Amino acid sequence: MPVVGTFPTLRSEIAGVKVVDLAQQFGTPTYVYDAASIVERINDLKQFDVIRFAQKACSNIAILNLCRQNGVVVDAVSGGEIHRAQKAGYKPGNVEHPEIVYTADVFDRDTLDLVVKLKIPVNCGSPDMIDQLGEKAPGSSITLRINPGFGHGHSQKTNTGGEQSKHGIWHEQLDDCVARAAKAQIKITGIHMHIGSGTDLHHLSQVCGSMEKVVEKIGASVDTISAGGGLPIPYNTKQSYVDLDQYFQLWDASRKRLEAKLGHKITLEIEPGRYLVAESGYLVSEVRTVKKMGNNTFYLLDAGFNNLARPILYGSYHPMSLAPVSGATNLPEQDVVVGGPLCESGDIFTQEEGGFVCTRKLPQAKVGDYLVLERAGAYGFVMASNYNSKPLAAEVLIQNGKPHLIRARQTFEDITRGEVIPS
């Protein structure tokens, strides 16, 4: 299990490259990813038969390609993500351990056509999807995403099980799904449960029990079970990793009991998003003003919630560090509020759930210093927007000490592309 480590508030480099050099070469704000960190996290999970990256966490095709080169397959939750996976070299098709699986609670019409055309296996999150697929592609095989009736998440918005969640097929509707599948000559070959981000081992044993019941009910057609995602990573010293050995043991024991009952081999998949990429990502920004509001000191950056939305969406905590242009290695700290450039008062990185502004102890900054928002690789860039007509940031991947531009910063022309003034 990885160690939580420390969270220094001064930083001079990322993966061996000076922050100042990165900022000067690529501009700010820029997302920087450390390839070695992603590979390390992949290797943590090698006990599982299949590691399926939930690409929605960080879907740049260079990141997907890195995953592919390290034996990881992908999950796609939209037609756009299927397109990305193909661009990164993944092959569509319904084979053993498929490289691309489509998981969702609905098909939009275009994506239904796309999965049928490319024969991409579907992990159905609603009974209607079975009928819709059956109409266009009778005889296919599917997996079912089951909502076991309870969930777990680090916030209400990331809880993906229980009655309040829109995700998956309600566990009591299984018979109905089996009937629908039979009618469309669709084979149910796998069961999937993903109950939310921040899984702990107590919840997990409940999930495993629920999984076994569901698989026994479906019977011999099942050859794959998926543990879903939700593996936590620590964003501060109070948080921790889950014990991966115990996590695997619980699932492996369920798998073995099911193999004994069904009399054939069952593939055990895991489907992490955050775990593989969160720690690899750094949002490098520049401090553009240091100003006082009564007793509060504000550092305002050139990055805002248009670049990193987790604090405003969930009150999420991201570690931060200052990379002073002076190269200073010792600076006095002060309590500061850190915010972005957007014309919206909620554009604050130091906020708690509910939008309450708080402060962070950070080294004294000067305008022109760089501020790094850390552990921003998961649900960072992928949630970025053009709000306030801000161009999307650049993305850079550091591999073997060398930074590579993997996404060019948007231009103003990119921002108005497709807009038309009627004549």
Binding site for ligand PLP (CB under 6 A): 54, 56-57, 75, 77, 103, 194, 197, 228-231, 271-275, 378
Instruction: State how beta strands 267-270 and 224-226 pair.
Output: parallel
Closest approach, Cβ 346 to ligand PLP, in A, equals 24
Max Cα distance, the chain (Å): 71
Q: Three-state secondary structure along 185-238?
A: CCEEEEEECCCECCCCHHHHHHHHHHHHHHHHHHCCCCCEEECCCCCCCCCCCC
Q: Closest CB to ligand PLP among 75 and 212?
A: 75
Residues ≥6 apart with Cβ < 8 Å to 109: none
Residue type, 346: G
In 3D, which of 24, 63, 45 has the Cα closest to residue 395? 63
- 343 counts as catalytic: yes
Tokens coding 292 = 């006082």
What residues form DSSP beta bridges with 124? 104, 144
| Helical ranges in 263-407 per DSSP H | 274-277, 310-314
How distant, in Å, are the alpha carbons of 65, 148, 160, 313 from that of 155? 31, 18, 10, 10
Q: Closest CB to ligand PLP among 310 and 390?
A: 310
Asked if residue 66 lies in contact with residue 38, where contact means CB atoms within 8 angstroms, the answer is yes
Closest approach, Cβ 123 to ligand PLP, in A, equals 7
Closest approach, Cβ 187 to ligand PLP, in A, equals 21
Q: Closest CB to ligand PLP among 86 and 158?
A: 158
Closest approach, Cβ 56 to ligand PLP, in A, equals 5
Q: Closest CB to ligand PLP among 228 and 319?
A: 228
Closest approach, Cβ 57 to ligand PLP, in A, equals 5
- What long-range pairs does 410-416 form, CB within 8 A, spacing at least 24? 410/386, 415/386, 415/389, 415/391
Closest approach, Cβ 271 to ligand PLP, in A, equals 4
In 3D, which of 169, 209, 210, 162 has the Cα closest to residue 188? 169
Q: Closest CB to ligand PLP among 134 and 228?
A: 228
Q: Which of 58, 124, 208, 343 is catalytic?
A: 343
SS3 15: coil
Q: Closest CB to ligand PLP among 13 and 105?
A: 105
Report the catalytic residues. 343
